[in-house]
């Protein structure tokens, strides 16, 4: 069933993105007076064809659905009959360089516009997200140095000594703001409230390198979701947890006297105490959201095991954990939703470009590249989470597709745009000979990137 959901979600995602991208080319071509011969979704043998009696465009759905294309009237097309004189003004190659530039750029632009619309829909419809409550940070992390102790709710962020602050509405909102500040290596101030009121916490991100900005950068900064309940979801037979008397439903309140409300920090503490007795404060017997149970202290000795990833001995207690974090309903007005959608799209596009640049110069791993298998996996997971998650995923992939197509690689839209910029500056069209050379080089780049992405997909799938 999961496989069926993944395939269906993947097909919907790819279909929507391809249609929007190609329709961007098509609509601007029509506005510029260019005749469009075919609008194809997919490649290969046509499965469905329909010719518009008004425009003469052939609309096609082909057998291989990974992509699509718009074929326009063009004198450079080989193997076709000569174009009648009355139709020559409608040929693509007869258009001015700026019209050709606009037609080619319209595809990626359409993907960015789609992302703005999708994000705006998510923001306007409302979404339930974890609140921006921080757990007790690990020692010596930037969050700990800033003064966070755990339990604070971050409400705003501002740059240095600036007077204007930007509100923080949820955990994901905080993550995006810290991501942008880390990329720009800024000194920021976080305003957070606790039982004593609102306080400022200076956070210096100027020493954070772009290499550190990845999926785990929040943990590196010392920020983990907090303020929730850390529950024992299950206990493995014969484990240290079972011998100590832990049972499913127990709430873990503290470890060695340190309050704990986050699975990541709890697991890290247990790993670092292999073979050493630790004391857990456990709450039992509470019923309902407000009911408090009986507090008990349980001594447990984490079993020492070899970590296959690092080869080091780490501690494990054999308990499955679940975190119930406080959540908040985030909803915005129509105008603010569009503004936030545009901002989120811009931030993600810039992040994608910078990440790709880091991979080129060797500052980021090529493992960050993903192919169709990973996209299908995330499509299925987001679809199961609900409409908001799937729309957000669709917006993210749409941005990635737009950025990818704008890269100055021949065979991609960005390669053609580069030709047109050269033509606009020099007044001369790039020769067919050089275009052929660049085309072969660009094709080699695309094949190499596709091979790496597919390898990464397989590595994630079979864990090697």
- Encode pLDDT of 104-146 as tens digits: 999 999 999 999 999 999 989 887 888 899 988 888 888 888 9
Given this chain, do its domains 142-221 and 229-323 carry the same CATH topology? yes
* Residue 360 pLDDT greater than 80, yes or no: no
Residue 378 confidence (pLDDT) above 50: yes
User: How high is the pLDDT of residue 460?
Assistant: 64
Looking at per-residue confidence, does 385 or 18 come out higher? Answer: 18
pLDDT tens-digit map of 420-458:
998 888 888 888 788 788 888 877 887 777 777 777 666
**What is the per-residue pLDDT for 11?**
79
Alpha carbon distance 295, 250 (integer Å): 10
**How far from chain centre, in Å, is Cα 384?**
17
pLDDT score at 373: 63
DSSP string, 112-169: HHHHHHHHHHHHHH-EEEE-SBBPPPPTTSHHHHHT--S--EEEEEEETT-S--EE--
How many distinct helices (H) and strands (E) make up the chain?
Answer: 12, 16
Instruction: Give tens-digit pLDDT for 192-211.
Output: 998 888 999 999 887 776 56
* pLDDT at position 206: 78
Give the C-alpha separation, 76 to 443, whole Å: 20
Give Cβ neighbours of residue 309 (< 8 Å, ≥ 6 apart). none
| Banded model confidence at residue 258, pLDDT cuts 50, 70, 90 | confident
Q: What share of the chain has pLDDT > 70, as a percent?
A: 88
Beta partners for residue 232, in sequence order: 321
Q: Name the class of domain 142-221.
A: mainly beta
CA distance 430 to 277: 73
- Domain map of the chain by residue range? 100-126+333-464, 142-221, 229-323
Packing angle of the helix pair 372-385, 387-406 (nearest 10 deg): 150
- Specify the pLDDT at position 289: 46
Residue holding tokens 């305003």? Answer: 191
The least confident of 3-7, 10-14, 46-50, 263-267 is 3-7
The closest alpha carbon to 293, from 229, 377, 212, belongs to 229
Report residue 37's pLDDT band, with 50, 70 and 90 as the boundaries. very high
Which one, of 428, 441, 426, 369, lies nearest residue 403 by Cα?
369
How does the average pLDDT of the chain come out, rounded? 84
Both tokens assigned to 8: 């269906």
Residue 217: is its pLDDT beyond 80?
no
Banded model confidence at residue 316, pLDDT cuts 50, 70, 90: very high
Q: Which two tokens stand for residue 305?
A: 């095991």
Q: Residue 1 pLDDT > 60, yes or no?
A: no
Q: What is the pTM of this model?
A: 0.75
What's the CA gap between 253 and 236, in Å, rounded?
20
pLDDT value, residue 78 = 57
Residue 189's alpha-carbon distances to 133, 148, 184, 196, 395, in angstroms, are: 16, 12, 14, 18, 30
CA angle, residues 65, 68, 73, in degrees to nearest 5: 150
Assigned architecture for domain 229-323: Roll (2.30)
pLDDT at residue 161 in the model:
64
Query: Looking at the annotation, which residues are catalytic?
Result: 22
What is the per-residue pLDDT for 457? 65
The mean-pLDDT minimum among 5-9, 214-218, 384-388 falls in 214-218
**Which pLDDT does position 371 carry in this prediction?**
63
pLDDT digits (tens, 9 = 90+) for 90-106: 989 889 999 999 999 99
Supply φ then ψ for residue 254, to 5 degrees. -155, 155
Given a cut of 90, whether residue 12 has pLDDT beyond it is no
- For residues 314 and 285, the answer to whether their CB atoms sit within 8 Å is no
């Amino acid at each position: 069933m999961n496989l069926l959901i993944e395939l269906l979600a993947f097909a919907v995602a790819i279909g929507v993105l391809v249609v929007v991208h190609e329709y961007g080319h098509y609509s601007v071509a029509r506005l510029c007076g260019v005749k469009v011969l075919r609008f194809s979704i997919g490649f290969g043998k046509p499965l469905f064809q329909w010719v518009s009696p008004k425009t003469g465009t052939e609309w096609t759905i082909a057998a291989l659905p990974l992509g699509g294309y718009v074929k326009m009237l063009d004198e450079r097309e080989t193997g076709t009959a000569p174009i009648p004189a009355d139709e020559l003004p409608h040929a693509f190659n007869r258009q001015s360089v700026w019209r050709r530039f606009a037609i080619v750029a319209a595809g990626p632009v359409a993907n960015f516009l789609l992302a703005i619309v999708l994000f705006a829909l998510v923001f306007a419809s409302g979404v339930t997200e974890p609140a921006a409550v921080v757990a007790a940070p690990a020692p010596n992390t930037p969050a700990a140095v800033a003064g966070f102790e755990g339990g604070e709710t971050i409400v705003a962020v501002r740059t240095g000594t600036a007077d204007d602050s930007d509100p923080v509405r949820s955990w994901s909102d905080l993550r995006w703001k810290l991501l942008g500040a880390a990329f720009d290596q800024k000194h920021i101030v976080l305003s957070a409230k606790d039982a004593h009121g609102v306080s400022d916490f200076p956070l210096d991100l100027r020493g954070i390198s772009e290499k550190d900005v990845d999926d785990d950068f929040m943990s590196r900064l010392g920020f983990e979701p907090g303020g929730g309940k850390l529950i024992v979801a299950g206990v493995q037979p014969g484990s240290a947890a079972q011998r100590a008397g832990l049972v499913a439903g127990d709430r873990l309140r503290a470890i060695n006297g340190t309050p704990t409300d986050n699975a990541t920090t709890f697991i890290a503490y247990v790993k670092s105490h292999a073979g050493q007795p630790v004391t857990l404060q456990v709450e039992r017997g509470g019923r309902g959201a407000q009911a408090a149970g009986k507090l008990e202290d349980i001594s447990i000795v984490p079993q020492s095991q070899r970590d296959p990833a690092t080869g080091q001995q780490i501690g494990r207690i054999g308990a499955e954990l679940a975190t119930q974090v406080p959540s908040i309903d985030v909803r915005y007005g129509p105008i603010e939703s569009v503004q936030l959608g545009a901002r989120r799209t811009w931030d993600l596009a810039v992040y994608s470009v910078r990440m790709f640049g880091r991979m080129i110069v060797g500052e980021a791993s090529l493992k960050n590249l993903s192919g169709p298998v990973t996209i299908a996996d995330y499509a299925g997971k987001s679809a199961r989470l609900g409409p908001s998650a799937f729309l957000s995923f669709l917006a993210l992939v749409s941005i990635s597709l737009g950025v990818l197509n704008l890269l100055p690689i021949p065979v991609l839209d960005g390669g053609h745009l580069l030709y047109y910029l050269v033509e606009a500056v020099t007044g001369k069209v790039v020769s067919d000979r050089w275009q052929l050379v660049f085309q072969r080089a660009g094709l080699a780049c695309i094949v190499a990137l596709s091979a790496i992405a597919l390898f990464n997909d397989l590595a994630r799938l079979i864990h090697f």
